[in-house]
Structure 1
Amino acid sequence: MVPVLRDAYNAAFTQEQFDRFLHDLNKKYVPLQFRVAETPVFVPKGFSRQLFDACENIIDIILQPGFKEKTDRAIPRNYQVPNENGHPHFIAFDFGICENADGALEPQLIEMQGFPSLFAYEVFLDDVYSSYYDIPENYSSYLGGLNREGYLSALKSIILKNEQPENVILLELFPQRQKTSIDFYCTEDLLGIKMVCVTELIKKGNRLYYLNNGKETLVKRIYNRLIFDELQQQETTVQEKARLLFEDLDVAWVTHPAWFYRISKFTLPLIRHKNIPETRYLNEIKTVPEDLEQYVLKPLFSFAGQGVVIDVTPQDIQNIKDPENWILQKKVNYAPVIKTPDEPAKAEIRIFYFWEEDAPRPRPVNNLARLSKGKMIGVRFNKDKTWTGGSFALFEK
């Protein structure tokens, strides 16, 4: 998106240097379970202004009175967790780099989540990248005037608050097996907190404990990385163990599981903005659009692109048994804007927002990017292709 920087980067690129970069990225913690793209995305000021304008518009809607009432239905009945707090600690906004009718580039919101992302891994990625490549002057992956130190200070403050690291855990389901496990190892290193599987929790009264180097240790805060929908796919013994999470526990959630559902695909039909594609709940559509090829069908409660129907037919809609749990979203025209040695790549940018507990609204802090040459952006849809996968964006200051 910044032709001068793109041309210079591509001209200087060598596979040998990239392989050394990958080696360092994979050796410190654990080998990455996803492909890393050969390039960052360079974002000029004009494009980033559009991104942040859309994000702030969504935040205005979240702050409106009655938002919780409007989104209560988003939380499945069997996933009601007590002690929800006033707002999420984290929000992530996914935007596709798209082309409008006039041929100009613009961001279009794809999804959003009131849930953490790869907050610690992106610090590590930026660190290793910076040791091999020069960051262009006046560009940074950190947002809102933050640098590495300011970003980590904010992250620690939100997750730990005033507690000792041993009393704060990163909660996941078999964390070492997850594709994003690199982020958990980075979090342990940078924040000093342990990753804990839900099956390892010990409940005494209304308090939770875990074994920290063999010592039973009180849990005061949970940095929640567990996607509750995943529990449905587990064996009965795991689901039974996880039931303790739905009890009235003396523990603080960061961020509370309810926000994963409230700020999600469920929220999209509530928003009207030029950088947010038209989205409607499937059960509220009286007449199916004749140009269905211009829409995508998405389940409300899924993640990582699972269940999404790209080429929608009337039969697909007729086959939906629970239309209240689906949305029909206008397709966006991804622009193959990232020049690569063979075919150009499309890209999505995820903007990280942090929301300190006493702050009136959240603020942008960092990002990640994903490059694709397939129909969908996720790394699982780009096998055997180069210059695709996970990366980050460098924003013009």
Structure 2
Amino acid sequence: MIPDIRLAYNQSYSPAQYQALLSDLKASTGVEPAFRIAETPVFVPRLLTERLLEAGDAVVKVIMRPDIKTLTAGAIPKTYNVPGENARPQFIIVDFAVTRADDGSLTPKLIELQGFPSLFGFQEQLAAAYRRHLNVPSGLENLGKGLTSASYRDLLRRTIVGNRPAGETILLEVLPLQQKTLIDFAVTEAMLGIPVVCVSELKQSGRELYFERDGKKRPISRIYNRVIFEDLEKMRPQLGNPIDLRQDFDVEWAPHPNWYYRISKYLLPHISGPFAPRAWFLDEIPVLPQQLDQFVLKPLFSFAGQGVIIDPTPEDLEKIADPGNWILQEKVTYAPAVETPTGPAKCEIRLMYCWPEDAPAPILAHNLARLSKGKMIGVSFNDSQDWVGGSSAFFEY
């Protein structure tokens, strides 16, 4: 999106460089990426960088409201309400579409947000691989402003491990070896020295949790939580008879499962500003918009774009039995702003914040970019095209 840098990149690119990038990722992590990696990073110009940071700060201010738990009291399904919730989400993820303002300049529009981790380990690995193998100028930065590779790792350690021993901290997931994000788990384990553990491995003794490896009992005092409870319930038959995680265990969660619901689509109707498309709970709209094709219908409780209706009709709305669990959000028009050798691509940029216990406010740590040439942005919807997929943004600060 920075014209001279984009032109130089496209002219210097070769398929051999891209293959070297993919081989590097597999060799350095021991895992082959299970999702498509884009042939290019995204070069973000200064004005768009400033607008992204301003929009991200505005979202964070809503999350830092003293009454945030009261505001989001209805967000947590009773079935998944877990005791022992802490005072803050250690992770805040905010997704923005790159669009064009009326004056033609690039500007962000809020798409979604999560109180749940993203690919904090892998994205740093990917950004470094782009620098090694492709034409990324040294003046652009992928980390949050002021962070270095060393301070970023320290920030992750403070956020994920906290004050607990790394040996008593685990990365917890449902069938991690089968997840598309396995490559991130591998990088995180190598970076922080915390084992990746499947829910099926957990054992309990009263309020204490532990697992066994190499014939040894390993106590657990902190959980880097990657478990989505809906997924856990769907996969429960494959897991044998795992313990019920909705108990009051003597562990610290990072993040606590309840924040997955609190910081979610549920907050979209409460966020306003030039970067925020209009959004309502479906049961709170006094009059439905006449031009429904200008809106997107999203279920509150879904993952990876499942259940989203891009072009809703009145009939779609009539079929919904629980309108309080759906959001109607103003449709965002992505700008085909990233020029590639095979045509322009649309872009979404994810700002990834860490909020360790020793920080007064969330810290912008990293980013994730996704490129698309189709209707849907998710990497799984673009498998048949090139110059699309998961990527990294490099900002002009």
Give secondary structure in 2 for the equivalent of 1:171.
Answer: strand
Structure 2 counterpart of 1:355, one-letter code = W
Give secondary structure in 2 for the equivalent of 1:246.
Answer: coil
Larger deviation, residues 48-57 vs 310-319: 48-57
The residue that corresponds to 2:108 in the other structure is: 107
Alpha-carbon distance in 2 for matches of 1:323, 1:167: 42
Alpha-carbon distance in 2 for matches of 1:151, 1:23: 25
Structure 2 counterpart of 1:300, one-letter code = L
Give secondary structure in 1 for the equivalent of 2:170.
Answer: strand
Give secondary structure in 1 for the equivalent of 2:167.
Answer: helix
The residue that corresponds to 2:337 in the other structure is: 337
Once the two structures are superposed, what CA deviation does each residue of 1:284-309 show, in whole Å capped at 9, x if it has no partner? Answer: 01211001110000000001000000
CA contact (8 A) 2:46 2:395 kept: yes
1:162 aligns with 2:163: yes
Structure 1 counterpart of 2:317, one-letter code = I
The residue that corresponds to 1:63 in the other structure is: 64
Q: Where in structure 2 are the equivalents of 1:222-233 lying within 5 Å?
A: 222-233=223-234
CA contact (8 A) 2:41 2:393 kept: yes
1:273 aligns with 2:273: yes
CA contact (8 A) 2:200 2:240 kept: no
CA contact (8 A) 2:370 2:388 kept: yes
Deviation, 1:206, is 0.4
Deviation, 1:105, is 1.3
Structure 1 counterpart of 2:378, one-letter code = G
Q: Where in structure 2 are the equivalents of 1:84-123 lying within 5 Å?
A: 84-123=85-124
CA contact (8 A) 2:374 2:382 kept: yes
CA contact (8 A) 2:13 2:134 kept: no
Give secondary structure in 2 for the equivalent of 1:339.
Answer: coil
Give secondary structure in 2 for the equivalent of 1:293.
Answer: helix
The residue that corresponds to 1:282 in the other structure is: 282
The residue that corresponds to 1:194 in the other structure is: 195
Deviation, 1:242, is 4.2
Structure 2 counterpart of 1:57, one-letter code = A
The residue that corresponds to 1:145 in the other structure is: 146
The residue that corresponds to 2:351 in the other structure is: 351
The residue that corresponds to 1:30 in the other structure is: 31
Larger deviation, residues 44-53 vs 316-325: 44-53
- How many pairs does the alignment contain? 396
**Aligned-pair RMSD on alpha carbons?**
1.3
The residue that corresponds to 1:365 in the other structure is: 365
Sequence identity (%)? 47
Deviation, 1:166, is 1.6
Deviation, 1:236, is 4.1
Runs of 4+ in 1 over 3 A off after TM superposition: 235-240
CA contact (8 A) 1:209 1:217 kept: yes
Once the two structures are superposed, what CA deviation does each residue of 1:106-148 show, in whole Å capped at 9, x if it has no partner? Answer: 1001001011100000121122222213431321111121011
Larger deviation, residues 135-144 vs 319-328: 135-144
CA contact (8 A) 1:100 1:333 kept: no
CA contact (8 A) 1:232 1:239 kept: no
Structure 1 counterpart of 2:40, one-letter code = T
Deviation, 1:194, is 0.5
CA contact (8 A) 2:354 2:363 kept: yes
Alpha-carbon distance in 2 for matches of 1:142, 1:153: 13
Q: Where in structure 2 are the equivalents of 1:35-46 lying within 5 Å?
A: 35-46=36-47
Larger deviation, residues 386-395 vs 91-100: 91-100
The residue that corresponds to 1:260 in the other structure is: 260
Deviation, 1:363, is 1.4
**TM-score, scaled to structure 2:** 0.97
Alpha-carbon distance in 2 for matches of 1:320, 1:242: 33
Deviation, 1:238, is 3.8
Give secondary structure in 1 for the equivalent of 2:317.
Answer: helix
Give secondary structure in 1 for the equivalent of 2:242.
Answer: helix
CA contact (8 A) 2:211 2:217 kept: yes
Structure 1: gaps of 5 or more residues: none
Give secondary structure in 2 for the equivalent of 1:52.
Answer: helix
Alpha-carbon distance in 1 for matches of 2:240, 2:96: 34
The residue that corresponds to 1:15 in the other structure is: 15
Structure 2 counterpart of 1:353, one-letter code = Y
The residue that corresponds to 1:299 in the other structure is: 299
Deviation, 1:178, is 0.2
CA contact (8 A) 1:282 1:324 kept: yes
Structure 1 counterpart of 2:99, one-letter code = C
Alpha-carbon distance in 1 for matches of 2:132, 2:264: 36
Alpha-carbon distance in 1 for matches of 2:108, 2:384: 27
Larger deviation, residues 163-172 vs 111-120: 163-172
Deviation, 1:164, is 2.2
Alpha-carbon distance in 1 for matches of 2:367, 2:214: 34
The residue that corresponds to 2:388 in the other structure is: 388
